[in-house]
Chain A
Amino acid sequence: MKFRSKIIDIGCLNNFTRVVTTISKLTKTCVLRLTPDNLYFVLSGKVANGGVGMWCELSQANFFDEFQLEGVSVKANEVCLELAPENLSRALRTAQNAKAVKIKLTKKHCPCLTVAAELPTMSSMSRVVTHDIPVDVIPRRLWNDFQEPSMPDFDVSIYMPPLKIMKNVVDRMKNLSNFLVIEANMNGEMNLKIETDLVSVTTHFKDLGNPPWGGDGSQHSQGDQETMVQARVDVRKLQQFLMGQQFNPSKAMCNIVQNSILHLILLYEDVSLQYFIPAVA
């Protein structure tokens, strides 16, 4: 098992830092899956995580100037590590004006992801700051838990409203209720609703548009375009997802399986992020 990589471009470094920071706001621990072409940050939708799942995919070529990986074996050319993304985010943030950042897998007193930032100096002496981030190497027999989740057979798929507006609304709704109903139809309409003993609040978004998913997407006929499909979710989980977003994605989509799951997809230029929130009764 061997992994070493290097980022020189400051833009790439900023982008990678931004991605890791976003991930760190979504979850305390996650799995980093490294393949020769891609990096994945994965949270499997286990009960321990409250059923929330995450899948974030980055193409290494978009970020790294050097990327060498030797996996567990030739056949399984991958490395799977469990880490706290906050640690990686913090290490990268201190390296914001670095000339180069090296990230490699090392064996110290425990397995570590070592981030070495070469900082600019006035003299000829080089200055390197090194962070060792402890990781757990995930054995191969458990890899199945961290495969790409299959696209749920959703009942409705819709583009999301501007995330900042949605965040404001969800923030207030969280003050009022623990649960939120999100509903949408194939006519570009989405509603966010809460209801308590004191108050009921509904926010209506319209003209959002529905993504074209080819033939195998939603099987809705023209007739029931207006039918609302809903999922009741924990407000905090939705809020956490919205809080983590630092930049507007090029596309934000929301798929709902009636009373079962809320599937959020954000597409950025060089990153894709999927987030799964289970519905509650």
Chain B
Amino acid sequence: MPLSTQSQADEAQYVLVASLDNARNISNILKAITFKDHAIFNATPNGLKVTVEDSKCLQANAFIQADIFQEFTIKEDSVGFQVNLTVLLDCLTIFGGSTVPGVSTALRMCYMGYGHPLTLFLEEGGVVTVCKINTQEPEEPIDFDFCSSNVTNKVILQSESLKEAFSELDMTSEVLQVTMSPSQPYFRLSTFGNSGNAHYDYPKDSDMMELFQCTKTQTNRYKMSLLKPSTKALALSCKVSVRTDSRGFLSLQYLVRNDDGQICFVEYYCCPDEEVGED
């Protein structure tokens, strides 16, 4: 069913309609949180929030604001559903997800409500693809209860500098240790691998450091396997905010600029690794 011949009757039944001139603007940001198949979608008049979780220890959220879309119509305060993210990404890139300038896939995403599939209409070069992705009951995302009022330490870095560190991280280390402190070593990433220990220090007055707000020395360990998916978001981003709260929870917020220069956010929450046998 081509875009133009969609009946008005159908149109009226949708509780959510979102259109984009360039499907890459959404597919790219979803790639940044693709580490599990199940994705929880929650749409509000503000935009779309997509959540992916792993092992109740890691949560990734992608926020795509309503004004990123050329059309964003929502008939309820909140619309939620769950879909298979890998399938959705294959559908969004059905025409190959070309990066050639001037060639883009137009997207119209429609949802009729509970029990209905998520329908995508994609068009590129006069060829139309219609995808109906079955939806599931949305699960309640875990509330990590990460409040900005509880934040102990916070730094904002140019992603460039963290990309370098992450690409060189010793992946044989089971954990990544993050030290944040108002005094030396300020911001330190440490690994403990087969071939020895490594520390990456960032001086607080480095050009790469946009903001440095550390109030207390804090050292926490995070499972490398849990942090690994976040490198996808890091690769796309231009800035990253690293925060820890009083419980040692880690929040990574990535600022991602899309093809059209608009800004979206991707956020990762990660639980600290508890020492086994600790009383």
Asked whether A203 lies within 8 Å of B94 as measured between CB atoms, the reply is yes
Q: A201-B129, A203-B129 are in contact. Are A168 and B87 (CB under 8 A)?
A: no
The reply on B202 being an interface residue by CB < 8 A is no
Chain A stretch 177-231: residues in CB contact (< 8 A) with chain B? 197-207
A168–B100 Cα distance when bound, in Å, is 14
Known: A198-B84, A198-B87. A172 touches B132 (CB 8 A): no
A198: B residues at CB distance < 8 A? 84, 87, 133-134
Chain A residues with Cβ below 8 Å from B261 are none
Closest to B2 in A: A204
Question: Does the CB pair A199–B127 fall under 8 Å?
Answer: no
Whether, in the assembled complex, A249 has its beta carbon less than 8 Å from a beta carbon of chain B, the answer is: no
Counting chain A CB atoms within 10 Å of each CB, the highest count among B86, B94, B133 belongs to B94
CA gap between A172 and B96 in the complex, in Å: 8
Q: Contact check, A204 vs B87: say whether CB atoms are below 8 A apart.
A: no
Q: Is the CB of B90 closer than 8 A to any CB of chain A? A: yes
The yes or no answer to A122 lying at the interface (CB within 8 A) is: no
Chain A residues within an 8 Å CB radius of B130 = 201-202, 204
- Say if the beta carbon of A124 comes within 8 Å of chain B: no
Q: Please pick, from A171, A175, A197, A202, the residue contacting B129 in the complex, using a CB distance under 8 A.
A: A202
Identify B91's interface contact among A201, A204, A206, CB under 8 A. Answer: A201
Give chain B residues whose Cβ lies under 8 Å from the Cβ of A199: 84, 87, 91, 131-134
Q: How many residues of A contact B (CB 8 A)?
A: 20
Interface status of A176 (Cβ within 8 A of chain B): yes
Decide: B90 and A203 in contact? CB cutoff 8 A: no
Cβ of B3 to closest chain A Cβ, rounded Å: 10
Interface size range on B against A: 20 to 34
**Residue B95 CB within 8 A of the other chain:** yes
What B residues does A200 contact at CB under 8 A?
A: 117, 131-132
Cβ distance B189 to chain A, nearest Cβ, rounded Å: 35
State which of A176, A202, A203, A207 has its C-beta within 8 Å of the C-beta of B87: A176
Cβ A172 vs Cβ B2 within 8 A: no
Bound CA–CA A203/B125 (angstroms): 12
In the complex, A165 has a CB within 8 A of chain B = yes
Given A201-B131, A204-B128, are A168 and B96 neighbors across the interface (CB < 8 Å)? yes
- B90 contacts which of A176, A202, A206 (Cβ < 8 Å)? A176
Whether, in the assembled complex, A161 has its beta carbon less than 8 Å from a beta carbon of chain B, the answer is: yes
Interface membership of B258, Cβ < 8 A: no
Interface residues of B in 56-98 (CB under 8 A from A): 84, 86-87, 90-91, 93-96
Q: Judging by beta carbons under 8 Å apart, are A175 and B90 in contact?
A: yes
CB atoms of B134 and A203 under 8 A apart: no
Q: Known A176-B87, A198-B84, A204-B2; judge A169-B131 contact (CB<8 A).
A: no
- Residues of A near B124 (CB, < 8 A) are 165
Closest to B130 in A: A202
A203, B127: Cβ atoms closer than 8 Å: yes
Q: In the bound complex, do residue B127 and residue A165 qualify as a contact, i.e. CB atoms below 8 Å apart?
A: yes
**In the complex, the 10 A-B pairs of residues with the closest C-beta atoms, listed nearest first:** A168-B96, A203-B129, A201-B131, A204-B128, A199-B133, A200-B132, A172-B90, A172-B94, A175-B90, A199-B87
Interface residues of A (CB under 8 A from B): 161, 165, 168-169, 171-173, 175-176, 197-207
